[in-house]
A and B are shown apart, each in its own frame.
Chain A
Amino acid sequence: MDRRRFIAAIGGTAGAGLAGCISRDDGDDSEPTVDDSSDDTDDAGSENGSAERTLTVATYDSFLDAPSTAPGEWVKSEFESQHENVTIEWKTPESGLNHYIQRFDEDVAFDADIYLGLNVDDLIRADDQLDDSLFQELDRDAVDNAEHVRPDLEFDPHDRVLPFDTGYISMVYDENELSTPETFEQLTQDEFGGTLLAQNAQQSDPGQAFLLWTIHEFGEDGYLEYWRDLQENDVQILGSWWDTYSAYLEEERPMVVSYSTDQVFANRDGNDMSRHQLGFLEDQGYANPEAMAVFAGADEGTNTLAHEFFDFLLSPEAQGQIAKLNVQFPATDNADLDDEYTEFAQEPPETVFFDYEELQGNLDGWVEDWAREIAG
């Protein structure tokens, strides 16, 4: 064997080993193709109804894998038992919806049919980044249970997404050390000096929600001044929700921006309830609805199956299970709720939140100005 051939052989082997695969996008279609695995069988499926079908669902990892409870397992087995020959396959990309926005943008095929766990800011970012919509418009008539979705949680003006649950941002505090925080003004006063932990709104959902709540309260001309007062009163802004919550659990501070479902966990883990009191500032809670949508490019069979799946998720039983297992509030008005859940999950008297139109074009600037104010 001569040297050149040897090098070519070595190089070829190494190259083939490293390059996991050479794959082929579906040629004639410029849209990313969805669900390659089921393409072959879908047509047959619509004819005789007995062929295998797969619905690939992208979501965030704690929907499947949270240490206490997660709804993923129940949703999969229940839906599969109700729908013969259907398999639910989960995907949890590290960067969430961004993963699919980028794939769509780069025209790379992606193996997911629907996305579960979409926030308002995700949808705005997808629309800002892409020329075409990442999601299909929904056929609401095909989702009977959609009529029970609470109108105050809807956030897409173009009818592409359906909310399936919501959380509320509130204060969680230790009543042994603090009186109940009731207003935004209180947080800037001596009594609450050096007590509050909040999150970086650049990277954390509750952090962003709390920031938006202050903008809702003080307006875009007044919120930075309010945050200056908070900073003077020694608010501590850490990175993620986890950073703040672990500091709270270590009793570094007696108050943290968190979710109003905190007591469900506290009860489940046998925690001292006095350290898990809820404070609804101005009798409000900032809502953080999570929605689901079908990716653009799904074929008709997949699209129909996706609508069936949405209908299932909005059924009273599934809404109750998701509320219990995901520890979030249902998005519908007729969920079958568990006693443990209704006892410990508290809803704020009044819900506030900005919808798509109010946030579009503003969100990034608001967050950036805020972050510069804090870090500067």
Chain B
Amino acid sequence: MPSPRADPPAWITTSQHLSRWVIRRILPLSAVAAGAVLLVVFYFPTGIVFLEAVVPDGTPSLGPLRSVLTDPFYVGVLADLFARPTAVGEHLSSLAGWIAAGFPRPSLGLIGFTAYQAVLSTIASVAIGLPGAYILSRYEFRGRRLLRSLTILPFVLPGIMVAIGFFAMFSRDGPFNQLLGLVGLGPVELLFTLEVIVLAHAFYNAPLVARLVTAAWESVDARTVETARSLGASPPRAFLDVIAPQLAPAVLAGAVLTFVFTFRTFPIVLALGGLEMATIEVWIFSRIRQLDLTAAAALAVVETIISIGVLLLYLRFEASRYGTGSAPTPLDRRPLLPSLRAMLRPSRLAIGAYSVFVLVLFVGPMASMVVESLTGPNGFTTSHYAFLLDRQVGGQAFQIRPWPAVRNSLLFAGATLALALPTGIVIAVRRVRGDRGGILLDALATAPLAVSGIVLGIGLLRGLVFGIPLPGGFRIQVTGALAIIAAHAAATYPFVVRNVAPAVGRVDRSLVESARALGASRVRAMVDIELPLATAGIVAGAAFAFAISIGEFNSTVILAEGGDYYTMPVAVERYLGDRTLGPATAMGTILLAVTSASFVIIDRVGSGRGDRL
């Protein structure tokens, strides 16, 4: 402790200067940090793999890509077109032949099927997610906030848990068919069909749509609707003209993200639908397993180009949508059940029917998993939890124990939140301001969503875990906890941006400008004015950041490199060692419990801050 002096010591003035400087530079610095993280944990590793597709064996070649695009197995009828793009006459005549034959369903190959199921999955996710967003944002009822917090839950479940839940819920003699039986329907054979894959994708992605749209809906300014109504618009008209345009970016964001996710889907299709429903990612995985990196990279490049194309279309649309600039006075929520009689109104009946559907699709599989964790061959048992306790107390150092898994998951998720939330907000604010750098950063941060998880995995292994050789036999390696957190953060920014940007976009510019005119710095105006008004979006973004980190599997196992950095999903997979579902479902139940509690806390803390301000 230095003794007090008349003049502040040099280090204090330096640090004051420094902190002012940091605050002034916080926006650009966060952007630089985000860029650096993306570069290290995403662009560099995937770059290494993608390069194999165009420079196999050290010489540039289009061979690998051509062999994908000219293989009817991958691209169906388009193979001929790609093989001989200049034979226009022949292509036209075969087109004519196709029309003359009465438009028979053309074969689009593996890639075509992948896109087809992704489109169906997107439609289903939006159709199931939108009513949920409507109910959560427009009605008041007991448990609404709790429910809103938990919408994100399916997002964190490992694929194998979802598969086990779906097997249990929708099997021939499962609860779903028993329910159908009660009302005199069924049974339906749902498993191993395209329908069940689409439903499983909706299980993951409808909550994403609902979450994004709820946040947007809660930021709709009630006064704009009132103005429209006072000018004579009917409620449907006011909805179409005033509310719908404000929801459109969120709905579209949900749809695009769903498409991109389900386009590169892998474990769910094989677990629930099987090889007949194979997607392009299944073939990438098989190439990687054979260590045929060139073929894997070629397939991944085609996959990424399609996904990026969809993302770019959307980003262009989104850019034209921000900054309607109106101070948010949120819409009032109606009571869901004002009276018993109201239950019979068509709107409430529809909500009732939707709730039953949601219970079956979302609660059913999760509840089945919990039931499984408490069931043995002779009925109720706690032995699976006893196993976890046993492992915790008596497990060897080389075995996976439950508590470190829980602790690591929470630590990584907390750190991801701390890193991705401020950075994502900064990108969102710059994005909304129409700042070129912001748009570029957003595009750079969004691109990782389009890349195969398997390809990123092998890139991380070769690029970061093996390291980059330096002269003198040194290698620079990036592994361990910090690398995992950075990878999780890189997977997270786009979601924070998608959630925060619409909310910030609707903040009245004049409020910010008044604050600036009164002498507030840019940062102060952002912290005191913009962010409190965008709370709904920020909380939604925080929940996503947390959920993605908790649920992330591929890069975690690779960067942890056999160390003590395993997480809850890793533990779930490990406990699937032999022929009982018990221990894995018990660990899965703990995953559910820990993450539900986290989401409720995030929502409470987030909206608590909003109230105070």
A residues apposed to B, CB below 8 Å:
1, 3, 6, 10-11, 14, 17-27, 61-62, 64-68, 70, 72-73, 76, 90-95, 98-99, 101-103, 106-108, 125, 129, 200, 202-203, 236-240, 242-243, 245-247, 249-252, 262, 265-266, 269-272, 327, 364, 367-368, 371-372, 374-376
How far, in whole Å, are A21 and B479 apart by their CA atoms in the complex? 8
A239 touches B271 (CB 8 A): yes
Whether A65 touches B400, Cβ cut-off 8 Å, given contacts A20-B482, A252-B172, A374-B276, is yes
How far, in whole Å, are A139 and B4 apart by their CA atoms in the complex? 76
Q: Which residues of B contact A247 (CB under 8 A)?
A: 167, 171, 191
How far, in whole Å, are A269 and B167 apart by their CA atoms in the complex? 21
A25 touches B475 (CB 8 A): yes
- Chain A nearest CB: distance from B589 CB in Å? 15
Q: Which of A61, A106, A200, A251 contacts B466 (CB 8 A)?
A: A106
B382 at the A/B interface (Cβ < 8 Å)?
no
A243 touches B577 (CB 8 A): no
Q: A66: nearest residue on chain B (CB-CB)?
A: B577
B557 touches A22 (CB 8 A): no
- Chain B nearest CB: distance from A126 CB in Å? 9
A272 touches B478 (CB 8 A): no
How far, in whole Å, are A329 and B476 apart by their CA atoms in the complex? 44
Q: A88: nearest residue on chain B (CB-CB)?
A: B398
- Chain A nearest CB: distance from B252 CB in Å? 32
- Chain A nearest CB: distance from B195 CB in Å? 15
A20 touches B479 (CB 8 A): yes
A21 touches B163 (CB 8 A): no
How far, in whole Å, are A80 and B562 apart by their CA atoms in the complex? 22
B271 touches A269 (CB 8 A): no
A374 touches B275 (CB 8 A): yes
B110 touches A375 (CB 8 A): yes
Q: Which of A23, A103, A251, A327 contacts B474 (CB 8 A)?
A: A23
Encoded as 1 (CB less than 8 Å from any A CB) or 0, chain B from 130 to 163 comes to 0000000000000000000000000000001001
A265 touches B580 (CB 8 A): yes
* 6 nearest CB pairs, A to B: A239-B270, A66-B577, A202-B286, A62-B577, A375-B278, A67-B583
Whether A269 touches B577, Cβ cut-off 8 Å, given contacts A239-B271, A364-B290, is no
- Chain B nearest CB: distance from A32 CB in Å? 11
Q: Which of A10, A62, A203 contacts B286 (CB 8 A)?
A: A203
List B31-72 residues whose CB lies under 8 Å from chain A: 33, 36, 40
How far, in whole Å, are A129 and B372 apart by their CA atoms in the complex? 43
Q: Which residues of B contact A62 (CB under 8 A)?
A: 577-578
A67 touches B163 (CB 8 A): no
Whether A242 touches B576, Cβ cut-off 8 Å, given contacts A98-B289, A125-B291, A371-B275, is yes
Whether A252 touches B167, Cβ cut-off 8 Å, given contacts A6-B21, A237-B274, A266-B579, is yes
A202 touches B271 (CB 8 A): no
Chain B interface residue count: which class? 35 or more
Q: Which residues of B contact A374 (CB under 8 A)?
A: 275-276, 278
Q: A130: nearest residue on chain B (CB-CB)?
A: B291
A246 touches B581 (CB 8 A): yes
B580 touches A269 (CB 8 A): yes
Whether A108 touches B577, Cβ cut-off 8 Å, given contacts A251-B173, A270-B376, is no
B478 touches A19 (CB 8 A): yes
Whether A106 touches B462, Cβ cut-off 8 Å, given contacts A202-B285, A203-B285, A272-B377, is yes
Q: Which residues of B contact A18 (CB under 8 A)?
A: 40, 478, 482-483, 486
Q: Which residues of B contact A239 (CB under 8 A)?
A: 267, 270-271, 274-275
A237 touches B473 (CB 8 A): no
How far, in whole Å, are A129 and B287 apart by their CA atoms in the complex? 13
B480 touches A20 (CB 8 A): yes
Q: Which residues of A contact B475 (CB under 8 A)?
A: 22-25, 108
Whether A249 touches B581, Cβ cut-off 8 Å, given contacts A20-B480, A125-B290, A202-B282, is yes
Q: Which residues of B contact A24 (CB under 8 A)?
A: 472-475
How far, in whole Å, are A243 and B272 apart by their CA atoms in the complex? 8
B398 touches A64 (CB 8 A): yes
List B552-598 residues whose CB lies under 8 Å from chain A: 557-558, 561-562, 574-584
Q: Which residues of B contact A371 (CB under 8 A)?
A: 275, 278, 283, 286
Q: Which of B40, B172, B558 contacts A251 (CB 8 A)?
A: B172
Q: Which residues of A contact B40 (CB under 8 A)?
A: 18
A98 touches B291 (CB 8 A): yes
How far, in whole Å, are A102 and B192 apart by their CA atoms in the complex? 35
B291 touches A61 (CB 8 A): no
Q: A28: nearest residue on chain B (CB-CB)?
A: B473
Whether A108 touches B467, Cβ cut-off 8 Å, given contacts A20-B480, A202-B289, A269-B377, is yes
B405 at the A/B interface (Cβ < 8 Å)?
no
Q: Which of B21, B478, B582 contacts A20 (CB 8 A)?
A: B478
A236 touches B192 (CB 8 A): yes
Q: Which residues of A contact B479 (CB under 8 A)?
A: 20-21
- Chain A nearest CB: distance from B292 CB in Å? 8
Q: Which of A72, A94, A236, A271 contacts B398 (CB 8 A)?
A: A72
- Chain A nearest CB: distance from B257 CB in Å? 24
Q: Which of A3, A11, A243 contacts B271 (CB 8 A)?
A: A243
Q: Which of A6, A252, A372 contacts B171 (CB 8 A)?
A: A252
How far, in whole Å, are A247 and B164 apart by their CA atoms in the complex? 8
